[in-house]
Amino acid sequence: MKKACPRIIIAGTSSNSGKTVISAGLAYILRKKGLKVRCFKAGPDFIDSQYLSIASDNNTDNLDTWLMDASYVKQAVVKAADDADIIIIEGVRSLYDGISALGEKGSTAHMAKILDAPVILTINARSIAKGAAAIALGFKSLDPDVNIQGVILNFLKGESHYKKVKQAIMRFTNLQVLGGISRFKGINIEMRHLGLKTVLESDDVDNNIAHIASVISESLDVDALIDIARSAPPLDAEPFSYPTLENDTTHICVAQDASFNFYYPENLAALQRAGAHISFVSPMYDQKLPDDISGLYIGGGFPEFHLDILERNTSFKKSIYNSIEDGMPVVAECGGLIYMCKNMKNKEGKTFKMLGIFDADAMICDKCQSVSYTILNSVCDNTLTTKDAIIKGHEFHYSKVIPNATDSNFAFDVLRGKGIADKKDGWMEHNALGQFTHLHFGATPSAAIRFVKMSKTYSRT
C-alpha cells in the first residue's frame, strides 16, 4: 500500500560540506513552524544523529543500504511518516561514495533511488565560482536516476561570491540554487577524531542549534525546500513484522554518560521489543549496578578522554566485575571493549586501570586504526549469536587492543574488517562479549533477541 511521505535528502559533494549543520538547522526551523519532523542519518554514524535528534525533538535512526536490505530502509521511512509531516535524511560522505569505488551499495545515491527521494546537493564553494558549476554538473550527470532537485552553497566569502556561483550553476546545470551560507556566520559544530564532538560533551548545544537555524532561515529558501520534500511521490512498503520473545520484562542496563553514548535508538527499541526493560547507568559517576540487573550494554564513545574518572570509580568497576564473574551477560562495543580491558594508555603514554575482565592492554593511537564495514562469522554460541551465524556491522576507532594471553577466546572470525587481533573479534569471558564491531539490531534483530534471552536465563538462575 502506497503512503505519502514528504521527504528530502541533504547530500554533499564531500565529507565536511556542511550536511549536518544544514540538516539540523532545517529540522529546527520546520519544528518551530509547527511541523512534526523526523530525521534519519545515512550510514554508520552515531554522533550526527545526536544533533538531529535535538534539532527535531525526535529520535533519529540510521539507514544504511549495505547493512540493511532495501525493504527495511523503505519500511523505516514509511513507519516514521505515521507521526511526521516531513522527513529529512542527512547523507553520508559524498552523494556517490559507498562501500566500493564503482558500486552504489552504502551510498546516499543508492538510498535516494530506493526511497525515490529528491536530493539537495550541498557544495563547499570556498574559493571557486564557475568550478562549482562543474561540480554540480558532474554530480547531476553521473547517475540520471538520482533526482537532484537543487543546490545549497556553503562556505561562501560573501554576497558577491554567492551571486557569481549561483549565476554559473544556473547557466550550466539548470539546477535551482536554494541559497548560500557565508563562512563568516559562525555556524559550526566542534570536530575531533571520529567526527563531531558528541552532544554530551558540547557546551550549550540547544543555543548553538538555534543560532544555526537562524542563519539557515536567513540564507536558504526554506519554503522551496518544503515544496521539494512534498513533491516526493508516495512510498510503497509493507509494515514491519518484528521478531519478539514472550511478554516478559528483563532489566538490561545501558551505560550512558560522556564516556559511553554511541547507541542506535533502534538497538534500544529492539531490546525493548524483545522484552527488556531499559535503564541507564554511568560508569563515570554511579557507585554500582542496580540490584535487579540481568544484562549490561556498554556502547562506544570516548572513554579515552575520561580515563582518570573511570579509573577512580573502583566501586562501580567492582560491581560489574562481580556480576560478570557471576555469569551476567554483557555486550561491550568499541569504547566498551576498551573499558573491559586491564589497562588503557592515553596518547601521552600514561596508563590507567580499567575493569580487567579481558587480559589485554588498550591504547589510543594518533591515527585511525580501522574504518570499515565488517562481516563476522560466529565460531561458537555467544551473547549475541549462535554458532555459524553471519552478521554485518562496522568499526571505526583510533584505539587498539593488545591481548596479553595467548589463549584468548574469540567468538567471531572476521571475514571483512579488522577486529581485535589476527582477524578475530568478540572477546569472550563468561557471558561477557567485547568487540570492535558495532551492530545495528534493526538490521540484525536476532542479536537483540539472543541478548535478551540470555539475560532472562541469567535472571531466572
Residues 96 and 131 in one domain: yes
Higher-pLDDT residue of 202 and 66 is 66
> Cα separation of 174 and 30, whole Å?
27
Task: Name 38's Cβ contacts closer than 8 Å, sequence gap at least 6.
Answer: 56, 58, 60, 80, 81, 83, 84, 86, 87, 88
Q: Which of 167, 201, 236 is the last residue of a domain?
A: 236
Residue 58: is its pLDDT beyond 90? yes
Does the structure show a pLDDT above 50 at 96? yes
Q: Which residues are catalytic?
A: 334
CA atoms within 13 A on the CB side of 72: 17
In a domain, 11, yes or no: yes
Q: How many CB atoms lie within 10 A of CB 309?
A: 17
**pLDDT tier at 102 (50, 70, 90 boundaries)?**
very high
Mean pLDDT of 159-171: 95
Check pLDDT > 60 for residue 415. Answer: yes
- Regarding whether 263 and 192 lie in a shared domain, the answer is no
Among 204, 236, 268, give the residue marking a domain's end.
Answer: 236
Number of domains in the chain: 2
Higher local confidence (pLDDT), 332 or 405: 332
Domain boundary residue among 236, 264, 279?
Answer: 236
389: in domain: yes
In a domain, 245, yes or no: no
8 Å CB contact between 413 and 380 = no
For residue 311, pLDDT beyond 50: yes
Confidence of residue 240 (pLDDT cuts 50, 70, 90): confident
Report the pLDDT value the prediction gives residue 188, as an integer from 0 to 100: 63
**Structural domain that includes position 174:** 2-236
Write down the pLDDT at residue 191: 46
Single-letter amino acid, residue 16: N
Q: Are residues 16 and 90 in the same domain?
A: yes
Question: pLDDT tens-digit profile of 260-291?
Answer: 999 999 999 999 999 999 999 999 999 999 99
Specify if 241 maps to a domain: no
| Pair 304, 433 in one domain | yes
Q: What is the pLDDT of residue 455?
A: 96
CATH of the domain at 52: 3.40.50.300
Residue 428 included in any domain: yes
pLDDT confidence of residue 371: 84
Q: Please indicate, yes or no, whether residues 289 and 207 belong to a single structural domain of this protein.
A: no
Judge if 74 and 154 occupy the same domain.
yes
Residue 81 located in a structural domain: yes
221 and 254 part of one domain:
no
Most confident of 181-190, 232-241, 389-398: 389-398
* CATH code of the domain in which 298 resides: 3.40.50.880
pLDDT digit string, tens, across residues 314-364: 999 999 999 999 999 999 999 999 999 999 999 888 999 999 999 999 998
pLDDT at 25 over 90: yes
Residue 193, pLDDT score = 45
Per-residue pLDDT, 398: 85
Co-location of 345 and 302 in the same domain: yes
H/E segment holding residue 246: none
Give me the pLDDT at residue 192, please: 42
Whether residues 6 and 104 share a domain: the answer is yes
pLDDT in tens, 166-224: 999 999 999 999 999 998 776 665 544 444 555 555 557 788 889 899 999 999 999 99
pLDDT at 32 over 70: yes
Contact status, residue 133 vs residue 171, Cβ threshold 8 Å:
yes
Does 204 share its domain with 265?
A: no
Q: Tell me if 26 sits within 8 A of 255, measured CB to CB.
A: no
Strands 300-301 and 276-281 turn out to be unpaired
- Point out the least confidently predicted range of 1-15, 54-68, 126-140, 203-217: 203-217
Helix 265-273 vs helix 445-460: crossing angle, to nearest 10: 50
DSSP letter string over 123-188?
EE-TT-SHHHHHHHHHHHHH-TTS-EEEEEEEEE--HHHHHHHHHHHHHHH-PEEEEEEETTS---
- Whether 106 contacts 66, CB under 8 Å: yes
Instruction: Give a yes or no: residue 243 inside a domain.
Output: no
Q: For residue 361, is it within any domain?
A: yes
